[in-house]
Amino acid sequence: MAKRFVIIGGGPAGNSAATYAARLGAEVTMIEKDIVGGAAHLWDCIPSKAMIATGGALTMINRSSGMGLTDVSASLDFDALRARIKNIGGRLERSTTGLLESQGVTMIRGTGHLTGPNTVAVESAEGTSEIEADVILLATGSRPRIPEWASVDGQRLLTTRDAYPPPELPEHLVVVGSGVTGVEFVHMFSAFGCEVTLIVSRQQVLPAKDPEVAAALEADFIGRGVHLLKGARAIAAEVDADGVTVICDDGRQARGSHALLAIGSVPNSESLGLGNAGVDCDYGYVVVNHNCQSSVPHIYAAGDLSGKLPLSSVATMQGRKIAEHAMGLHVGPHRHLDYEKAASAIFTVPEIADVGLAEADAFAEGRKIRVTKVPFSANAKALIDDDPRGFVKIISDPATGVVLGGSIVGSHAAELISVIALAVTAGLRVNDIYESLLVHPALAEALSDAAE
């Protein structure tokens, strides 16, 4: 008899597990309360990148005088952008649903929770039912963290869920939080011509990133007129008819027409019935081993709920690995996920991407590394594209030449980092990159120059 595989949550983690498990012969049921595709399609990755793409096009057109053009300008049609985001979301939902249907996955629109180690209750429009399962995947994701002091109204004081797109285009947006999500908002709304203030709790935007990378972004923000309030921790937000005042712990205040909280997320686990099945959690995140198994081995958790890297790409790969593991394919070529080798990107301008070992971490560990860095100002394609900002940095082992990590700041960094990510995962040497015969002229040539 086929294994009964029940998945709660239809985001990237749930979808990929459902597709692969069904392909491997499982009888898959997926329970999703909102839309197939999850928060990633509805509020996070897709709408954010769609808005950033429009902001990027706007910026490019308005600075195209450097390309030898005159009288070229564009302005934002906010309603058209709204429609575009909805359209992309709808298309992705249809294609994801179509793929799941083609694999024979049973989809239930409803809310699921565990009632025991092998049973899941579903509340749907049709009432409550219970499903028996041999394998269960918990993939319910996370939601924005809202501090006690904030009364989010979705009109003036927003979380990321209200901002793609926001109810109206802010005249002046105060962004609280300078991590990846916060800086993407700063970039996007300043590209739309809004005045932006960023509240940075430390002395560096992107506190977890290479200081050189963060400095490049900070310089760009300052050049665009973004106000930076550094070393300031928001402790209150007062909303009135005209706007929001954000108050910081040192008494400084930032006043805007709107304010947006980008200060992390919390897992969606409190209504999952974890205790009914004996599943352990830590601060709401399901505790998992390297196979994404919880304390109950046939109950897995993936995506943001697993407390690993909160990235759609990681969630997708976890789902796939879980399907392989649950269906007995974890012998032979199966490799465990190595979260330290996950590439990530920040879709600002300049774009930022990194993978593997960071220079600052190697330094802190007292580890010997070789660092080679090449600016895009020496790259023909970057000059042709009139965007020579940024650099490529490759970190390798000085003894073996094996590539350990890298970071890229500049146009198409999110695409270019794939080469370094492949090298890090496959254990390639800098010479392997250097000796690849690349296209000319191409931004990728900066990679082989940095590998020289």
Interface contacts to ligand FAD, rule CB under 6 A: 8-14, 31-34, 38-40, 44-45, 48-49, 111-113, 139-141, 160, 181, 268, 303-305, 310-313, 315
**Least distance to ligand FAD, CB of residue 427, Å:** 24
**Least distance to ligand FAD, CB of residue 439, Å:** 26
Residue closer to ligand FAD (CB basis): 244 or 342: 342
Residue closer to ligand FAD (CB basis): 302 or 443: 302
Q: Answer yes or no: are the C-beta atoms of 50 and 88 closer than 8 Å.
A: yes
What value, to the nearest 5°, has the Cα angle with vertex 313 and ends 310 and 318? 80
Q: Which amino acid is at 1?
A: M
**Least distance to ligand FAD, CB of residue 39, Å:** 3
Q: What would the two tokens of residue 89 be?
A: 């979301």
**Least distance to ligand FAD, CB of residue 359, Å:** 23
Give the residue at shortest CB distance from ligand FAD. 303
What value, to the nearest 5°, has the Cα angle with vertex 208 and ends 203 and 214? 60
Residue closer to ligand FAD (CB basis): 8 or 404: 8
Using DSSP bridges, classify how beta strands 253-256 and 244-248 pair: parallel, antiparallel or unpaired.
antiparallel
| Torsion sign over Cα 360, 362, 368, 372 | negative
Residue closer to ligand FAD (CB basis): 349 or 430: 349
Residue closer to ligand FAD (CB basis): 268 or 348: 268
Q: Which of 134, 2, 48 is nearest to 348 (CA)?
A: 48
DSSP state of 278: T
Q: Which amino acid is at 250?
A: D
**Least distance to ligand FAD, CB of residue 55, Å:** 14
Residue closer to ligand FAD (CB basis): 84 or 429: 84
The partner residues of 160 in beta bridges, in order of sequence, read: none
Residue closer to ligand FAD (CB basis): 303 or 390: 303
Q: Which of 277, 335, 333 is nearest to 301 (CA)?
A: 277
**Least distance to ligand FAD, CB of residue 302, Å:** 7
Residue 18, Cβ density class (10 Å: 0-12 exposed, 13-18 middle, ≥19 buried)? buried
Q: What would the two tokens of residue 91 be?
A: 């298309």
What is d(CA 258, CA 101) in angstroms, rounded to the nearest whole number? 42
Residue closer to ligand FAD (CB basis): 139 or 392: 139
What is d(CA 394, CA 217) in angstroms, rounded to the nearest whole number? 19
**Least distance to ligand FAD, CB of residue 150, Å:** 16
* Angstrom distances, CA of residue 193 to CA of 48, 66, 413: 17, 20, 24
**Least distance to ligand FAD, CB of residue 206, Å:** 15
Q: Is 336 helix (H, G, I), strand (E, B) or coil?
A: coil
**Least distance to ligand FAD, CB of residue 319, Å:** 7
Give pairs for 236-242: CB < 8 Å, separation 24+.
236/149, 237/149, 237/150, 237/151, 237/157, 237/176, 239/151, 239/153, 239/156, 239/157
Cα end-to-end distance, the chain, whole Å: 56
Residue closer to ligand FAD (CB basis): 417 or 446: 417
Q: Which amino acid is at 203?
A: Q
Place of tokens 């269906």: 327
**Least distance to ligand FAD, CB of residue 184, Å:** 7
Residue closer to ligand FAD (CB basis): 11 or 89: 11
